[in-house]
Amino acid sequence: MVAMSKEILARGMERGWLLEPEAKELCRLYGLPVAEWRVVKTRDEAQAAGTALGYPVVMKIVSPDVIHKSDVGGVALNVEEGSLKEVFERMERVAEEKGFSFEGILLEKMAPPGVETIIGAKRDPQFGPVLMFGLGGIFVEVFKDVSFRVAPIERQDAEEMVAELKAYPLLKGVRGRRPSDVGSIVEALLRVSNMVTELEEIRELDLNPVVAYEKGCRILDARVIL
């Protein structure tokens, strides 16, 4: 697994970060729950991928020149079959007009709603890899409701990272909502800890959002800085 991971990291060393398909493949190697995806380079390939994955889909531009895809109009949500080719052509135009290298478009099935969380890691020069966990949206951006641990961590550490958040009751279920699968989040934290401990090339990792469901969780976006 480490050897295969190193091969993926080697692809991104020169640019300093991984393309989203590379980052998600790395996550998959470490047993993290990523949605099935396809990278397509033509409208016909996009149509076939959409049919195989099931509609609606998410479409994201893949380019070594674009790390923040939404800033350049490179992300489209809830795309139905009737508008897929139009969205594909629009993203092609965006790449051409802005002079981006176009390596295709990543398609994946639109995920159902759940509780959005964030798992991150950053390599500190003194402490080594430091893990972060928080709930998405305003809980991180406004309330700074996050927890930290130095990797590697044990299961108890991961459980405490989740439980010490002020917003933890949202995961346990409030106002009639079913509880989320906290165990799957704990498992994801342990696997990320393993990844950043073994792969010293990773300077930063951002899994946002990681959507928690009644059963399991799913990583919808992944960013890795080398």
pLDDT band for position 141 (50/70/90)? confident
Least confident interval from 8-17, 42-51, 61-70, 154-163: 61-70
Nearest-angstrom CA–CA distance, 194 and 1: 12
User: pTM value?
Assistant: 0.94
**Percent of the chain at pLDDT exceeding 70:** 100
Instruction: Give the model's pLDDT for residue 144.
Output: 84
User: Is the bond into 169 cis (omega within 30 degrees of 0)?
Assistant: no
Instruction: Give the model's pLDDT for residue 19.
Output: 97
Residue spans of the domains in the chain: they are 8-17+112-225, 36-109
- Name the DSSP letter for residue 80: -
Least confident interval from 8-12, 67-71, 113-117: 67-71
Instruction: Give the model's pLDDT for residue 149.
Output: 98
Nearest-angstrom CA–CA distance, 44 and 137: 36
Angle at 207 between CA 143 and CA 115, to 5 degrees: 60
pLDDT in tens, 167-187: 899 999 877 788 999 999 999
Compare 40 and 140 and report the one with higher pLDDT.
40
Compare 156 and 66 and report the one with higher pLDDT.
156
pLDDT greater than 80 at residue 114: yes
**Percent of the chain at pLDDT exceeding 90:** 83
Instruction: Give the model's pLDDT for residue 152.
Output: 98
Q: In sequence order, what are the residues at sequence separation of 6 or more whose Cβ sits closer than 8 angstroms to the Cβ of residue 206?
A: 118, 120, 222, 223, 224
pLDDT greater than 80 at residue 30: yes
Please state the rounded mean pLDDT for residues 4-21. Answer: 95
Find how far residue 213's CA is from the centre of its chain.
16
Please state the rounded mean pLDDT for residues 101-130. Answer: 96
Nearest-angstrom CA–CA distance, 176 and 224: 37
* Average pLDDT of the chain, as a whole number: 94
Kindly report the CATH number that applies to the domain delimited by 8-17+112-225.
Answer: 3.30.470.20
Phi and psi (nearest 5°) for 92?
-60, -45
Instruction: Give the model's pLDDT for residue 174.
Output: 79
Instruction: Select the CATH number that applies to the domain covering 36-109 from these four: 3.40.50.1000, 3.40.50.2300, 3.30.1490.20, 2.120.10.10.
Output: 3.30.1490.20
The answer to whether 190 touches 152, Cβ cutoff 8 Å, is no
> What is the separation, in whole angstroms, between the first and last Cα of the chain?
18
For the beta sheet containing 75-79, the strands, ordered from the edge strand earlier in sequence to the opposite edge, are 37-40, 105-109, 57-61, 75-79
